[in-house]
Amino acid sequence: MVEIGYTLASEEHSPTALVEHAQRAEEAGFDFLSVSDHYHPWVSEQGHSPFVWSTLGGVATATEDIDVGVGVSAPIIRFHPAIYAQAAATAAAMFDDRQFYAGVGTGENLNEHVLGDRWPAHAVRLEMLEEAVDVIRKLWTGREVSHYGSHYTVENAKLFTLPEETPPICVSAYGERAARAAAAVGDGFWSVGPQEVIDVWEDEGGEGPRFCQLQTCVADSEDDAVATAHDKWPNSELPGELSTELATPSLFEQAVEMVSEDDIAEGSIITDPDPQAHIDSIQTAIDAGYDHVYTMQIGDDQSAMIDLYREHVLPAFS
């Protein structure tokens, strides 16, 4: 069964607004919510970056039935895995009998450098993530844990607040090496990557839910949508590994000077207001093997996308 979700974009909205968006998405009939975890927005024009674990408390109390996942957090530098384990366990407990998905990944320098730690190479971050997942799982047993590893130390730690069911840990991957690691240590898969990435994950024995994010900008016209997306989310068209390596919003603002409105119009963001364009994009992700497909609306006008999906898109997949 395929589930269609809605993105709570922490980089663009205040925590109070995110809680309101969660309520409206649930009322519209979305199956689940995904919320991003950032310390900084990509560019200053986005304007926000609230603490995700506080926001989740508000979402838990303001909604009733909708499932929720963090897509994704990096429990390797800014969050020690023992702290992540407690935060995610508390959030999952607040959602009671709803499904909570713990999305994890190797992070971006944009968020992870803020404590002055060295930004490691990707291969090292993968090693850190694998060890972090092991620590998190040990703590989620409710037993007292001491761990002396290559990257992390935990002494006499025990979590007393735990959800009734352990959340699946869905590991993010955008390349083949990360996909293999995700299959080895995860309970699910999180990506916006190409078909071959999920194929690698499956070939390596990966099992569990498979998440894919799409980006849209629904506006009165396609020209308006392109202009808004170029203003708010030009980072979507940055090439290669820039998104993981640049350290500050100001550096991203320099980098996106190379991104034009034509790049946005021809890129990955869905700017066509025709519902069929959105249906087709979701179907493409489903055909690639994803069973949890969620969409982020760029810009202040979240109602435009929520209303379009309520009336035309969600019924196509019901």
pLDDT tens by residue, 146-185:
999 999 999 999 999 999 999 999 999 988 999 999 999 9
- Please report the pLDDT score of residue 196 as a whole number: 84
- In tens, the pLDDT along 32-90 reads 999 999 999 999 999 999 999 999 999 999 999 999 999 999 999 999 999 999 999 99
- In tens, the pLDDT along 109-142 reads 999 999 999 999 999 999 999 999 999 999 999 9
The reply to whether 278 belongs to the active site is no
Examine the pLDDT at 193 and tell me if it is beyond 90: no
Taking the complete model, does pTM exceed 0.85, yes or no? yes
As a whole number of angstroms, the distance between CA 269 and CA 110 comes to 22
The reply to whether 20 belongs to the active site is no
Examine the pLDDT at 192 and tell me if it is beyond 90: no
Examine the pLDDT at 240 and tell me if it is beyond 80: yes
Which helix (DSSP H) or strand (DSSP E) does residue 155 occupy? strand 153-157
- Please report the pLDDT score of residue 169 as a whole number: 98
Catalytic residue among 38, 40, 113, 278: 38
Q: CB-based contacts of 300: which residues, under 8 Å, 6+ apart?
A: 12
- Dig out the tokens for 198 from the structure: 């999920």
Catalytic residue among 108, 112, 127, 130: 108
